[in-house]
Amino acid sequence: MAGQHDERQFPRREFLVKTLQLPCSAAVVTVLGPLALGSDAAEASQGDSKTAERYFGMGIQVDKCIGCGKCVEACKAENDVPREPFYFRTWVERYVIHNDGEVSVDSPEGGIRGFPREEREGDVLRSFFVPKLCNQCDNPPCVQVCPVGATFKTDDGVVLVDSDYCIGCRYCIQACPYGARYLDPRTNTADKCTFCYHRITQGLLPACVEVCPTGARIFGELNALASPLRRLMRKSSLQVLKPALNTEPKVFYSELDGEVR
Amino acid sequence: MLLVLRGRFVPASFGETGHYRADAVDVVAAQPLRYAGWQVCVECHDSEGAMKSRSFHRTVSCEVCHGPAAAHAEDVESQTPLIPRERGAECLSCHEYLSPRPTGFPQIIERLHNPLQACIGCHDPHDPTPPEVPESCSACHAQIARTKAVSHHLTLECETCHDARAEHRENPRSFLPRKPTAREFCGGCHSENADSPADIPRVDLRDHGERYLCWQCHYPHHPES
């Protein structure tokens, strides 16, 4: 998978390197400078960041989620997300697996007001809640497709959107395999979970983690030696969503059912 | 000309740390806070914090129920956080029964669990240990118990006359005890041919009190009065 990925990116990089090597290309370099330098610097920072001191991730214990929707409410309040039920940075899904094997998934208004009783309550094999949010992929498809460099991965591993620079083309919304992005109707720019970047840079927890009443969400630094997140990663077998896509999510799920997509 | 265009259109900090505007990171990080975090709350509300830290709600942050409180932490006087007191969504969003909720998580069926009573009447949200199920009827019906204790009926158990199911002790309003409905119930001890100790006062049910029910004249918990 990694090889495939390299093959896709390499020709452009190779082209730029060769361009740099040409002595007569000084003028081109001056113009393309920021782009070429950008790619290199991004590559360098990605290489460094895996060993960087702060590299954020989240663990979600599916067996602890009670589907109260407090995280959805807190996220909307903290980040001024539009209240209409189409715009979510995080949401909660209810999976119900019936006795005949039929799986139904629902998320009324993202779970912000909780969930109604199931209609087929006597016919449930198993059911559980799955909180979802931007997976802060280490290999983010949304960043790859952005034509202007308005979405990017920071040194601490968080994928952010530069709303001043975003042109609202929606490519990233299409590219995200987790449906974690939306177009903010007020600014017409793409928006998404930032792991509450303004909070975590001050040493606070993201709002959804702060209000989770059962501690189903655990936030921390992936390469810290001792932290609740590291402990979760040691103690439980972790899964990520859609691992076959090779997006390398940094949101890890424990006790995740095989039916979850 | 290319140089001029580049200077005009490429932002100053573009490419400093990657293929993006480096200043954008600071813009995102400068967003104001709405949730202060429980550590800020317990700086002033230390007794509530201490009580909660030993209770079943120790993992529940203050702002889960009281709402975002960063504004309150900044300006204590004019910004008041939510103080939910009514029976409603604040408690039920976590504790109403739903089958996907983990086994062992405390849940109720709102319709059946002491309807119309405020949750905080029995459960302190900062220390929500469930109230103990009363051992005796007198725990709740103390006035009746005191009255009965000085009457001739003091040796009678409440269950002699009231059919109170065990569930009544856990969910009193959902399982109401029954009261006697007919004169013949009292007649079981007090009628002339009743099979009861000889010193019990007796009446002839056919002509005593005519069409009235016994408890319209005699208060059963203190029949002398």
pLDDT digits (tens, 9 = 90+) for A247-257: 999 999 998 99
Tell which wins on pLDDT, A133 or B9: A133
Whether A110 and A206 share a structural domain:
yes
Whether A147 and A18 share a structural domain:
no
pLDDT, tens digit (0-9, with 9 covering 90-100), for A159-194 = 999 999 999 999 999 999 999 999 999 999 999 999
Is there a contact between A204 and B37 if contact means CB atoms under 8 Å apart?
A: yes
Of A149-158, A172-181, B93-102, B116-125, minimum mean pLDDT range: B116-125
Strands A251-254 and A182-184: unpaired
Q: Which of B19, B33, B59 sits opposite A38 (nearest CB)?
A: B19
Whether A252 and A180 share a structural domain:
yes
Confidence of residue B207 (pLDDT cuts 50, 70, 90): confident
Q: What is the pLDDT of residue A7?
A: 44
Whether A158 and A258 share a structural domain:
yes
Is there a contact between A33 and B15 if contact means CB atoms under 8 Å apart?
A: yes
| Interface membership of B33 toward A (CB under 8 Å) | yes
Residue A149 Ramachandran class (φ > 0 left, ψ -120 to 50 alpha, else beta): left
Here the tokens at position B197 are 């100790």
Whether A192 and A259 share a structural domain:
yes
Highest mean pLDDT (candidates A142-151, B80-89, B113-122, B171-180): A142-151
Of A68-72, A90-94, A119-123, minimum mean pLDDT range: A119-123
DSSP for B2-31 reads HHHHHHHHS-TTBTSSSSSBTHHHHHHHTP
Tell which wins on pLDDT, A235 or A53: A235
Position A49 pLDDT exceeds 80: no
Q: What is the pLDDT of residue B3?
A: 87
Q: What is the pLDDT of residue A19?
A: 53
Whether A189 and A99 share a structural domain:
yes
Of A50-54, A82-86, B149-153, minimum mean pLDDT range: A50-54
User: How far is the first Cα of chain A from the last one, in angstroms, to the nearest whole number?
Assistant: 20
Q: What is the pLDDT of residue B133?
A: 74
CA distances from B21 to A191, B24, B27 (A): 16, 6, 10
Position A133 pLDDT exceeds 60: yes
Whether A12 and A116 share a structural domain:
no
Number of domains in chain A: 2
How many residues in chain B? 225
Position A154 pLDDT exceeds 90: yes
| Interface membership of A104 toward B (CB under 8 Å) | no
Q: What is the pLDDT of residue A34?
A: 45
Q: What is the pLDDT of residue A14?
A: 60
Mean pLDDT value of segment B67-84: 92
Q: Which of A38, A160, A214 sits opposite B25 (nearest CB)?
A: A160
| Consecutive H or E run containing B143 | helix B142-149
Whether A208 and A114 share a structural domain:
yes
Mean pLDDT value of segment A135-161: 95
Here the tokens at position B175 are 């399982």
Whether A213 and A261 share a structural domain:
yes
Tell which wins on pLDDT, A31 or B9: B9
CA of B101 vs chain A CAs: smallest distance (Å): 5
CA–CA dist A213, A228 (Å, integer) = 16
DSSP A57: E
pTM value is 0.73
CATH number at residue A250: 3.30.70.20
Mean pLDDT value of segment B177-181: 88
pLDDT, tens digit (0-9, with 9 covering 90-100), for A29-47 = 444 444 444 444 444 444 4
| Consecutive H or E run containing A159 | strand A159-161
Q: What is the pLDDT of residue A64?
A: 94
- At position B38, the amino acid (one-letter code) is W
Whether A167 and A129 share a structural domain:
yes
Strand partners, A127: A96
CA–CA dist A58, A73 (Å, integer) = 19
Taking the CA atoms of B91, B93, B98 and B100 in sequence, report the sign of the dihedral they define.
negative
| Interface membership of A254 toward B (CB under 8 Å) | no
Tell which wins on pLDDT, A7 or B161: B161
CA–CA dist A176, A172 (Å, integer) = 6
Residue with tokens 């006597």: A122
User: How does the average pLDDT of chain B come out, rounded?
Assistant: 88
List the 165-224 stretch of A: residues with Cβ below 8 A of B.
165, 194, 197-199, 201-202, 204-205, 207, 210-211, 213-215
CA–CA dist B57, B9 (Å, integer) = 54
Confidence of residue A18 (pLDDT cuts 50, 70, 90): low
Of A167-181, B8-22, B65-79, minimum mean pLDDT range: B8-22
Q: What is the pLDDT of residue A223?
A: 87
Domain positions in chain B = 38-121, 132-225
CA of A86 vs chain B CAs: smallest distance (Å): 21
Nearest chain B residue to A121 by CA: give it: B99
Is there a contact between A35 and B59 if contact means CB atoms under 8 Å apart?
A: no
Mean pLDDT value of segment B147-175: 85
Whether A109 and A175 share a structural domain:
yes
| Consecutive H or E run containing A44 | helix A26-49
Percent of chain B with pLDDT over 90: 36
Range of the domain at A12: 1-49
